[in-house]
Structures are given as C-alpha cells and as structure tokens.
Amino acid sequence: MPDHGRKTILPPSEAGIRAALHHLIKMRLSVLDQSMIVSGRSPADSIRETLDLGRLVDRLGYHRLWLSEHHSSGSIAGSAPEVLLAALAVTTSHIRLGSAGIMLPHYSSLKVAEQFRVLEALAPGRIDLGVGRAPGSDGRTALALNPNAAHAADAFPAQLRDLMAWVANQPLPENHPFRVVQAQPVGPTAPQIWVLGSSSYGAQVAAFFGLPYCYAYFFTEGKGASEALGLYRDQYRPSDANPRPISAIAVSAIAADTQAEAEFLYASRAAWRAEFERGRFVPLPTPEEALRYPFTDSERARNDIIRQRAAIGTPDLVHTRLTQIADTLGVDEIALVTAVHDPAARRRSFELLAGGFAKALEPRAA
C-alpha cells in the first residue's frame, strides 16, 4: 500500500480500550460484517477473515458483532450467519454475537428459534437474533430458498410473533396450532431479538412488538433514517423485555493513520458501489483497481453524496462524524461497516476507532 505521508500512531493497549469502552453506557460501538468477497482472494478466505475479525473486536471491547445474510451473490460470502456465529461463540469471550439479519421470510420461525437457542446454549447471554423482511437476494434466489417467497413477506409480523414466543420459551396464543411445540434447547437466558431494516416498515413492526430496532444507514446513505427512527419512537409500545425503545444505526466507516490513506482505502467501496448500482455484484476491488474505475459524471456525483454520509478519515475525524450522526438521530448504538480490501488495514481501522471512542466519547445515561 502507498505510504500517503503516513505518520505512525501507536494503538492503545487492548486492556485500556476494553476498560474505557465499558464506560460507554448508552452510546455503544459495535461491528456489522458482511464477509465481503474481495478481488484476488476466495470467498472462503472472506469467511475466515470474518472469524479473525470477530476475535479481534472481542479483544478490543466492542459491544457486539453482527453478521449479515446474503444469497447467490458475487460480492458477499456470508450466506449462513448462524453457522459463523456458532464458530465465534466458542472462540470469543465477551462480545455479543448476532445476525443482521436473518431474512425471516425464507425460513420456518421454529427452525430459526431452534438455531438461536443452540447458539444461546453455546454463549449464554451473548446472542442477538436480528431479523429482517427483505430477501437479501434476487427474486429467483428467494424462490429457491422458499417456494412460497411471493407471499412469505406478508406473513412477517405473524412469523415474528411466533419467533418471539419460541425464542423466549413463552406460550403461543391460545388457539395457535403449534402451541404445544417447543424450541429446544431451553435455558435460563434467551437471545435478544432485534428488527433490522432500511424503511419505515421495519421500524413500525419493531415498535409494535416492543423490540430494539437498527436502521441500515450505510445502505441508504442515511435517506429515511430520521423518519424511520421517529416513527419507531413515536409508535413504540413498551414490552417486558424492553420498557423503552432501543435504537441503532449501521454506518460505513474507515479510519486510518492519515486522511489520505483513509480516502485511498475508501476508493474500493466507491467503485464497488458504482458496480452495485449498475446491477453487478462483483468482488471488492483493490484501491489501485478502484482508482482506475471508469466512473461516469453522474456516478461521480452520486459517489460524492454517498461519501458525505460515511465516516472516513483519521480517528478523530471519524469519531466526530459518528458522534454527530448519532446525536442527530438520537440512537443508542453505532455498528461500523468497514469495507476494506486489505485485512490488515481493516483490522487497523477497528483498532484506531476503538481507541478513539474509548478516549473521547462522552458516556450517556442508560
């Protein structure tokens, strides 16, 4: 990688980061990883890099690690987050682990509940079950996953109701045909269920059921975030598990030792996003490949908008930007989405941001 006037910044100790991050009572810092396929390496390498990242952010004191679900994609290898989560459950010690999210219309609610009850048995008190309604794929793939895909999304609220009961080992409604069915293994703790989305629909569903809600800010470039989160808070119905609304956003973020290096690393995401909007799901290119990408004028303008909504730069700049977004939207937590081709540079980004937030973010009351 070019030097870009790099000035070495020694990372803070892992113990110091963990101690400081645990003081961030309300504003929590987490990670959302997609196991992106990158040019020059195999999809299997992407899975192994996710496992390596999980162990790192566990040591650094991040609050949670979420893994996404996508299918039949040339860009993302993470098709089965529940399997990856099992591997991480037995190789991490502190961090919460979860899905962001399981695309519930593809599956039986009972089967999902069983999978996450097993995960809860492996890592009690550390499992999140994030669910969404979107297919995470094209229509043909959705049909291959569930022959009833055309109508499955309409049943999302009912599926979520059943899932909540099975995950918590609570009774289903009196007249429910599966009332006597139980999701094993039951135990003293249960996964925390989240609703994830990029529209007002998921926000309203989360509010109705009294569940935490995460908005995909990185995917929509922030469009609709304020409206969705406002609806979530306005319509929130307190539940026993969650007496107040709990909200998070997932934001694209890259930190490096210099601004120039961070912008260089971000070039990969910019070129990948242009291909995505052309309908092509390609591996994440190297920054050098990305800098040769033939952007059209409209794509450059579009990328400028996307870039403004991300947090890219030195740790202080990224910290300021993320805090600004969180304060504006009034969220409790930020999940970092970091698409970087070089795994060492990606690890460095998480180290720098953990240290920056540990030193500078003012704690808020829970």
How many residues can be counted in the chain? Answer: 366
Residue 250 belongs to some domain of the structure:
yes
**pLDDT for position 12:** 45
Tokens of 301: 């303008």
Looking at residue 25, its pLDDT comes to 37
Q: Is residue 138 part of a domain?
A: yes
**Cis peptide before 101, with omega less than 30 degrees from 0?**
yes
The number of domains in the chain is 1
What is the tens place of the pLDDT at every residue in 87-96?
A: 999 999 999 9
CATH number at residue 105: 3.20.20.30
Q: Residue 8: inside a domain, yes or no?
A: no
Please report the pLDDT score of residue 222 as a whole number: 72
CA of 189: how far to CAs of 113, 129, 177, 247, 305, in Å? 13, 13, 26, 22, 43
Residue 5 resides in a domain:
no
Cα(185)–Cα(334) distance, rounded to whole angstroms? Answer: 31
Q: What is the pLDDT of residue 221?
A: 75
**pLDDT reading at 364 higher than 50:** no
Place of tokens 């999701």: 183
2: in domain: no
Of the chain, the percentage scoring pLDDT greater than 70 comes to 90
Looking at 72-81, 139-148, 335-344, which range is the least confident one? Answer: 139-148
Q: Is the pLDDT of residue 49 over 80?
A: yes
Check: CB of residue 317 under 8 Å from CB of residue 228. no
Ranges 13-17, 76-80, 232-236, 269-273: which has the least confidence:
13-17
Q: How confident is the model at residue 358 (pLDDT cuts 50, 70, 90)?
A: low
Looking at residue 161, what is its pLDDT?
A: 97
Asked whether residue 330 is domain-assigned, the answer is yes
Asked whether the predicted pLDDT for residue 22 surpasses 50, the reply is no
21 has a pLDDT exceeding 70: no
DSSP-assigned letters across all residues of 67-113: E----S-SSB--S-HHHHHHHHHTT-SSSEEEEEEEEGGGS-HHHHH
**Residue-wise pLDDT tens digits, 297-336:** 999 999 999 999 999 999 999 999 999 999 999 999 999 9
Question: What integer pLDDT is reported at residue 77 of this predicted model?
Answer: 97
Q: How far apart are CA 217 and CA 275, in angstroms?
A: 19
CA 285 vs CA 93, 256, 262: distances in Å? 33, 18, 15
The chain-wide mean pLDDT, for the chain, equals: 90
Range of the domain at 188: 14-360
Q: pLDDT tens, 200-222? A: 999 999 999 999 999 999 988 77
